[in-house]
């Protein structure tokens, strides 16, 4: 019951409260008047009975009816007087309540107008416009609150204006930087395109003289026989050919599709060893090749495979100690084929960093440091696992290829 009353009172308006007050005063007046009338009626009724009894005792029956009518008339007059007084009292109280409630409503309406207008503008409440001292005191707090809100609003507006200006200036600065960066990117892209185009032309123009040199070396060997100077020239040209093939692959790898085909890994490695045999002999090194017992078929692109094999062979020639053997082998099991190269060379200190472009552990060695980076990218693309073992005695590179099917070798 208490919670219902609290909820009902929390939602009541001033107009409803005024209505309920009038109803309560009316009920109170009616009850009060009824009680007075009832009490007066009982008193007169008792008086009537006493007078009638006295008249019976004195045998004055003739005048009893006259006396009863007089008393009844007097009772009616008193009832009318009480009713009239109650109505006058009710009207007076209602009038006072109406005036008081109007005054309260006017003060409340002034506060409502103030709070509605304070969102857009600050117009303080004039305390002289209010009737009650409590509302006048409240107006002081309300005006102070509105003034504080106005100051904060103005401060926020100034801050917002300042921030907008800063954002505008920053945006302009960023736009200028973006324009400059875009121009630099276009310039850099133009340089890169020109660089690529130059490399393409250089590679294209290099291939013909290299082929002519190799053909004339072979013709000279057939006619005049081989000699030490010719062997040096042939070894140097083969090294140039290997570099040429690396550059050609780097330029074309993003533009040409390299499909995988069945390749006999053992036979392919043997052919590449024959190609570099003169280079190894010129460096006072020898190849020892462990051929697989059966064909080692893998599914791989020959251009990519040549880059993997040639870079490992040339690196072995470059870093193997003078007069040592370079052991090369191919092995197969049911799921994989292994290509490995090992020799006596200096220990590799960082087996991961050597695959980074332009990195070389021995700065005096010839080359650009791109070979193993190229090998790593090919192996990552085609799922070839790389393992390196290196100590003070031996360095070994292993490449684990997925085994393929050699039945459709004509493909």
Tens of pLDDT, residues 353-386: 888 876 766 654 555 567 788 889 889 988 999 9
Least confident of 24-38, 252-266, 303-317: 24-38
Identify which has the larger pLDDT, 241 or 272.
272
- Which 3 state secondary structure label does DSSP give 87? helix
* pLDDT band with cut points at 50, 70 and 90 for residue 149: confident
Mean pLDDT of 13-36: 70
Tens of pLDDT, residues 161-212: 888 888 988 888 888 988 888 888 888 888 777 766 666 666 656 666 767 6
Mean pLDDT of 114-138: 69
CA-nearest of 97, 78, 94 to 33 is 78
Mean pLDDT of 68-81: 69
How does the average pLDDT of the chain come out, rounded? 76
Give the rounded percent of residues in the chain with a pLDDT score beyond 90: 15
Q: Which residues pair with 288 in a beta bridge?
A: 327
Q: Which two three-digit tokens encode residue 2?
A: 């208490």
DSSP 403: B
pLDDT of 410: 38
Identify which has the larger pLDDT, 380 or 227.
380
Q: Which two three-digit tokens encode residue 126?
A: 């004039």
Least confident of 34-38, 66-70, 84-88, 146-150: 66-70
pLDDT of 205: 61
Give the CA angle between residues 237, 241, 242 to the nearest 5°. 120
pLDDT above 80: residue 279: yes
pLDDT of 237: 72
**Domain segments of the chain as ranges:** 11-117, 258-402
Mean pLDDT of 73-80: 71
* pLDDT band with cut points at 50, 70 and 90 for residue 75: low
pLDDT of 8: 55
Tens of pLDDT, residues 384-410: 999 999 888 899 999 999 988 765 443
Mean pLDDT of 220-249: 70
Identify which has the larger pLDDT, 25 or 60.
25
In terms of C-beta density within 10 A (0-12 exposed, 13-18 middle, 19 or more buried), how is residue 161 classed? exposed
The fold of the 258-402 domain, in CATH, is Heat Shock Protein 90 (3.30.565)
């Amino acid at each position: 019951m208490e919670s219902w009353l609290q909820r009902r009172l929390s939602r009541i308006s001033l107009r409803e409260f005024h209505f309920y007050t009038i109803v309560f005063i009316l009920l109170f007046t009616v009850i009060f008047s009824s009680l007075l009338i009832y009490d007066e009626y009982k008193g007169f009724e008792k008086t009537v009975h006493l007078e009638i009894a006295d008249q019976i005792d004195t045998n004055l029956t003739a005048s009893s009816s006259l006396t009863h009518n007089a008393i009844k008339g007097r009772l009616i007059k008193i009832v009318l007087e009480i009713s009239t007084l109650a109505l006058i009292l009710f009207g007076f109280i209602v009038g006072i309540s109406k005036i008081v409630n109007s005054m309260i409503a006017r003060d409340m309406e002034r506060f409502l107008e103030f709070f509605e207008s304070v969102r857009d503008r600050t117009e303080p409440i004039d305390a002289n416009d209010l009737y009650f001292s409590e509302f006048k005191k409240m107006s002081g707090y309300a005006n102070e609150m509105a003034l504080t809100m106005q100051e904060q609003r103005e401060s926020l507006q100034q801050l917002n204006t300042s921030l907008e200006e800063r954002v505008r200036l920053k945006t302009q600065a960023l736009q200028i930087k973006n324009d400059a960066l875009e121009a630099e990117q276009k310039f850099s892209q133009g340089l890169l395109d020109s660089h690529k185009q130059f490399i393409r032309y250089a590679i294209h123009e290099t291939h013909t003289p290299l082929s002519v040199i190799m053909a004339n070396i072979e013709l000279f060997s057939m006619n005049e026989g081989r000699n030490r100077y010719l062997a040096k020239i042939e070894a140097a040209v083969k090294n140039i050919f290997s570099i040429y093939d690396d550059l050609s692959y780097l330029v074309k790898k993003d533009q040409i599709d390299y499909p995988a085909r069945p390749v006999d890994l053992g036979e392919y490695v043997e052919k590449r060893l024959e190609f570099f045999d003169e280079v190894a002999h010129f460096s006072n090194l020898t190849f020892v090749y462990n051929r697989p017992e059966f064909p080692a078929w893998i599914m791989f692109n020959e251009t990519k495979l040549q880059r993997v094999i040639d870079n490992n062979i040339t690196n072995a020639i470059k870093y193997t100690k003078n007069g040592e053997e370079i052991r090369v082998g191919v092995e197969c099991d049911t799921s994989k084929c292994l290509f490995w190269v090992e020799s006596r060379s200096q220990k590799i200190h960082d087996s991961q960093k050597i695959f980074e472009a332009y990195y070389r552990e021995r700065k005096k060695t010839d080359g650009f440091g791109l070979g193993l980076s190229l090998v790593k990218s090919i192996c990552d693309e085609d799922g070839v696992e790389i393992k390196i073992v290196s100590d003070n005695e031996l360095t070994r590179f292993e490449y684990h290829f997925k085994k393929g099917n050699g039945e459709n070798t004509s493909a």
